[in-house]
Amino acid sequence: MWPLWVRLGWNDILQRYRRSTLGPWWLTASMAIMIVALGVLYAELFKTAVSDFLPFLCVGLLVWNFAASFLTEGGTLFIGSESYIKQVKLPYSVYVFRSSWSKLIIFAHNFVIYFGIILYFQLWPGAVALLAIPGLFIVLLNGTLASVLIGMVSARFRDIPQLVNSLVQIIFFVTPIMWKPELLQHRTYIANANPLYHLVEIVRGPLLGQAPQLNNYVAVGIITAINAGVAAVLFTRFRSRISYWV
């Protein structure tokens, strides 16, 4: 039923920015301003060249916002589709793919910031940038699985979205987005123990011309397996109750 969830996902974006002149480009404009402002400031604080830190921050924030949106908005995955679930019998996957598709669209039009950054600093990542494509697919897959899990639990326990939002804010500051892992020196295990760091790195590294390390892919493989296993078990066990919980 892909024509249905494609249209529903596109309609979600249209409704969110209805009667707005720039529409979703407001997100792109605000993010571009934030990236430039924080990039210049933190480059000075960390005594790092702006040409080196700004692309790092740009890609990191783009991928982080994409991945984190699955967590922060996952709580409304089924709750937000209550009217559909209670009136029309559709596969739950329609609501899942609808949500993931709309997030992918937003990421795509925010991605123009990256092209602006590399053109300004005259950077060229080379053929290794192609590794970002499967990396992005893995992030999308894990985000989709996480949103299914969070969406189900949130439908049953309505305090979960607030808890997840608080945790995401904390995780943001302990994830190498606004700072580089090298700053930890001999305590890099702090970054390596963070699952979101590896998910971000398999996309950010190639876009900056650096192939991800083996430990990044190993960690992502383990994360994906656990994520898929937990989501599959809970969805199989409780899918029949979702319509009552919402």
- Average pLDDT per consecutive 10 residues, the chain (246 residues; last block may be shorter): 85 75 76 91 88 92 94 90 85 91 91 92 90 95 95 91 92 90 82 90 94 92 95 92 88
- As a whole number of angstroms, the distance between CA 206 and CA 135 comes to 9
Are the C-beta atoms of 235 and 148 separated by less than 8 Å? yes
- As a whole number of angstroms, the distance between CA 127 and CA 146 comes to 31
| Alpha carbon 2 to its chain's center | 22
Helices (H) and strands (E) in the chain, counts: 12, 0
- As a whole number of angstroms, the distance between CA 196 and CA 91 comes to 29
Are the C-beta atoms of 223 and 67 separated by less than 8 Å? no
Are the C-beta atoms of 71 and 164 separated by less than 8 Å? yes
The pTM assigned to this predicted structure is 0.90
HSE, CB side, 13 Å, CA atoms: give it for residue 153: 19
The per-residue pLDDT for 83 is 83
- As a whole number of angstroms, the distance between CA 145 and CA 70 comes to 9
> In whole angstroms, how far apart are CA 54 and each of 9, 38, 216?
32, 8, 22
Structure tokens at 36: 């430039």
Please give the radius of gyration of the chain, using alpha carbons only, rounded to the nearest integer.
19
The per-residue pLDDT for 189 is 82
The per-residue pLDDT for 89 is 86
The per-residue pLDDT for 23 is 67
The per-residue pLDDT for 113 is 93
The per-residue pLDDT for 88 is 85
The per-residue pLDDT for 21 is 66
Are the C-beta atoms of 204 and 129 separated by less than 8 Å? no
